[in-house]
Amino acid sequence: MKKYMFLALVLIMAFASVMAVSANETLKIGLCQPITGSMAMSGLYSTHGVQLAIDQINEAGGLQVGDKTYDLELLIEDNEGKPDITINAVSKLISDGVVAIVGTNSSSTSMAGGPIATSEKVVMVSTTGTNPDVTQVGGEYMFRSCWIDSYQGYLAAKLAYETLGKRRAAILYNNADDYSTGIMDFFVKSFEEMGGETFVQAYAGAEIKDFKAQITAFKDWEPDVIFIEAQAAELPLPTQQIRELGMDTQIVGAASWDNELLTQLTPKEDLEGIIYVTTFCADSDEPKAKEFVEAYKAKWDGELPMNQATMSYNAMRIIAQALQDCGKVDDPEAFRDAMAAVNMELPNGHFEYDENRDPQISGVLMTFRDGVGVYYGEIGN
Amino acid sequence: MMKIKNNDTNKTYLSYIVVPVLFFVLYYLIQTKTINMYWRNIILICGINGVVAMSLNLINGITGQSCLGQAGFMSVGAYVSAMLTKNVFKPYMTDTFQTYALFVAALIIGGLAAGLIGFLIGLPSLRLRGDYLAIITLGFGEMIRVMWRVVPAAGRAKGINSIPKVTNFVSVYIIVFLVMLIFRNFTKSSYGRSCIAVRENELAGETMGINTTAAKIRAFVFAAIVAGIGGGLYSHLMTFINPDTFNSAKSTDYVLYLYTGGVGSFSSALLGAIIFTIIPEILRFMGEWRLVVYPLVLILTMIYRPKGLFGKHEFGFMRFGEKENEYEKEENAGILMLISKAVKSLLNGKKEKTRKEAQ
């Protein structure tokens, strides 16, 4: 017993001495993402993105804020993808003294955590909480690094109507999921305004495995394009079943399709040719983007940065930039104003917030070739 | 004179003192921010979970029916009261008094709406019992959840957000205490005793002239009202609810709180809810492993304490201050009993040891 105590003591001493080497003060950054549960993959990618940004900052000698230099320390709390757990996780991070929180990945959890962050004056940056209400409900300390559903839905509709020239769109969505429901609404609205016809079928929950009834209905209606958008884990099965039932209609989607999970779970031939609109394409030629992709691949064993990882990396970069701009770490109001005024270049282009704390991000089209998402084209406003 | 004195010694007033003392201690710690926001939130959630677990005890523990749809009742209270405060009452919530008066009104209306649903679910319980009833309640709970998903006024899948945050420590503490008192008085009344009769032997109860049908429906409605009030507190604490918050896993949580605490006792239901709400938060330092350790704790609890951690013990004020006699203590056999037994045997063992050594 004594031996182990001694060993533990030695370890603690060694650890403490390592900590003491760096002269910089540490600044805590919180990450609140689903580390477990059905959305755990998003949490993993998000951790990768944020960790890369933090390591880059620390390796460059720390973050210069005012006349002090800080090392960043990442505190991760799991929200299990549930709103009620998010409240606990966000409260815990704030109690642990973080200056800002990165997260969460979904709109419902962001809307649960945002009001707390605002009431405690801690900046929170949702990575992929795309519902327009997120920053409205969350309050003035709630930001996001992604675009909003109304814009995403519009871009997807534009992709189907203008880029591909389709006129009859069938839509499959999850009526238990606010993200899927929201984007369906915006897609239908935009597509009909452009002059197309729509046909909507719902399924009830992430646990649904059989979509044959909805697909058969699609078959009778004879669409020339199918729009599916839900959480990434729910996309492989309907895609496979659409092809199984002999429909070779063009499928289009939005940012959820930009997830490695899909390429792992869906046969290559079923994915072939599906086009989706997302925020960032790893084979972009922009120098800033290339630099980011190289760094990311080197850090995480050749993994390609997708939407979630990029948005999380961006969120961390935006926070760091705003801290530098405001020049102090103990003035939440100045920090918030610096966040709102942030104006910088990120891997996916120029970044600025509008008056609703929503960024204007341009979209990029990607498609699957041989089971890998590749660049397809640009899509403008 | 002598007689009164005797009566006094037969009663325990400890819990009558503990309740206000605990209130002021916690209130003081929260006001001075010694308990930070994170733990304050957890204390509030403990209280709310306690209210719902106690309401479940009325059905499962006192009336002996099985209900797996408590989250469904809770969601009715949560949604109805949230819609009321957000859409109707908000402009009138100007000062503290009006805010809380309207909040209480919203809670009560939400509770009554849940009671109505409880009545509907109580009806099939006349014909079914045991597993079959459990399935029906499970189905009803899911039905309510899916209903919120398609009602546009309830925000569909997005749920309701920006609910005024009016649930605070004082309101939760008072409601937990009131709910306990009401349940105590109900259980001791003829209505409550008829519920117990249904649990013990329905046929015998009927023979004795008890309207078992009415007793069962009463239990369901009453439990639903209280669960609805718990839901109202929940939505005004979270400020955000969506249908998936109240899924069947949530109902299972309440069954878990009740059975690990000790079915049949309101105090145990409350303590079970408190302990098993706190444990996952304490285990947070383990990261992903906490979801492995937490069920392990549950399994061990059920293996070693099948009666629940606290058995059928009630707090003193829940027994009207009457002391438990030796027989009741043995029969209820909570974890405290076990600990005191272990301590006693340890002390006795030491005594015997010293005696032997002396010899």
How confident is the model over A244-258, as pLDDT tens digits?
Answer: 999 999 999 998 898
Whether residues B245 and A181 touch (CB distance < 8 A) is answered with no
If phi over 0 gives left and psi between -120 and 50 gives alpha, with beta otherwise, what is residue A124? beta
Same domain, A229 and A249: yes
**A49 pLDDT higher than 90:** yes
> Are A82 and A231 members of one domain?
no
- pLDDT score of A38: 78
- Determine, yes or no, domain membership for A172: yes
Residue A229 forms contact with B (CB below 8 Å): no
CATH number at residue A160: 3.40.50.2300
Average pLDDT over residues A111-134: 90
Helix (H) or strand (E) holding A227: strand A225-228
Q: How many CB pairs under 8 A join A and B?
A: 84
Say yes or no: A157 and A19 in one domain: no
CA A156, CA A275: separation in Å to the nearest integer? 9
Strand order from edge to edge, sheet including A372-379: A197-203, A168-174, A225-228, A250-253, A275-278, A363-369, A372-379
Q: Please name which of B223, B173, B134 lies closest in space to residue B27, comparing C-alpha atoms.
A: B173
Q: Mean pLDDT lowest for which of A1-10, A151-160, A191-200? A: A1-10
- Asked whether residue A63 falls in the same domain as residue A127, the answer is yes
What pLDDT does B176 receive? 96
Q: What is the SS3 assignment for A284-337?
A: CCCHHHHHHHHHHHHHCCCCCCCHHHHHHHHHHHHHHHHHHHHCCCCCHHHHHH
pLDDT tens profile A314-358: 999 999 999 999 888 888 999 999 999 998 888 888 888 888 888
∠A5-A25-A29 over CA atoms, to 5°?
Answer: 90
- Residue B353, burial from CB neighbour count under 10 angstroms (0-12, 13-18, 19+): exposed
Its pTM stands at 0.83
A165 in any annotated domain: yes
What whole-number distance in Å separates Cα of residue A230 and Cα of residue B206? 54
Question: Please, which residues 36-95 of chain B have a Cβ atom closer than 8 Å to chain A?
Answer: 36-39, 41-42, 45
| Domain co-membership, A318 together with A255 | no
- Alpha-carbon span B250 to B70, nearest angstrom: 8
Average pLDDT for A134-144:
90
Residues in chain B: 359
The residue extents of the domains of chain B are 14-249
Range(s) of the domain holding residue A164: 150-278+364-379
The verdict on residue A353 lying in a domain is: no
Give chain A's domain count.
2
Residues A55 and A197 occupy one common structural domain = no
Choice among A57-66, A81-90, B185-194, B338-347 with the minimum mean pLDDT: B338-347
> Per the domain annotation, does A203 fall within a domain?
yes
Residues A183 and A269 in one domain: yes
CB neighbourhood size of A255 (10 A): 29
> Does one domain contain both A225 and A319?
no
Q: Do A175 and B156 touch (CB under 8 A)?
A: yes
Query: Is there a single domain that holds both residue A202 and residue A320?
Result: no
Looking at residue A121, its pLDDT comes to 92
A222, part of any domain: yes
How far off is chain B from A80, nearest CA to CA, in Å?
A: 10
Residue with tokens 């939400």: B110
Mutate to test the interface with B, among A74, A78, A88 (most CBs of B within 10 A): A88
pLDDT of amino acid A132: 87
pLDDT in tens, chain B (359 residues): 444 444 445 677 788 888 899 999 999 999 998 888 889 999 999 999 999 999 999 999 999 988 898 999 999 999 999 999 999 988 888 888 899 999 999 999 999 999 999 898 878 767 777 788 888 889 888 899 988 988 888 888 888 888 888 999 999 999 999 999 999 999 999 999 999 999 999 899 999 999 988 899 999 999 999 999 999 999 999 888 888 889 888 999 999 999 999 898 999 999 999 999 999 889 888 877 888 899 998 899 888 888 888 888 888 888 887 777 766 676 666 666 677 777 777 777 766 666 666 66
| Contact A182/B at CB under 8 A | yes
**Contact, B272 vs B309, CB < 8 A?**
yes
Answer yes or no: is A359 within a domain.
no
DSSP 8-state secondary structure symbol assigned to residue B87? I
Percent of chain A at pLDDT > 70 equals 94
- ipTM for this model: 0.79
The C-alpha atoms of residue B309 and residue B303 are separated, in whole angstroms, by: 11
Same domain, A294 and A241: no
Q: Residue B313's pLDDT is what? A: 81
Same domain, residue pair A312 and A266:
no
Answer yes or no: do A265 and A313 share one domain. Answer: no
Q: Which of B240, B241, B284 to mutate to test the interface with A (most CBs of A within 10 A)?
A: B240
pLDDT score for B5 = 46
Q: Looking at the domain assignment, is residue A358 inside a domain?
A: no
**Bridge-partner residues for A375, per DSSP?**
A366
Rounded to a whole number of angstroms, the distance between the first and last alpha carbons of chain B is: 50
Of residues B348 and A288, more confidence is placed in A288
- Asked if A180 and A230 touch (Cβ cutoff 8 Å), the reply is yes
pLDDT of residue A15: 54
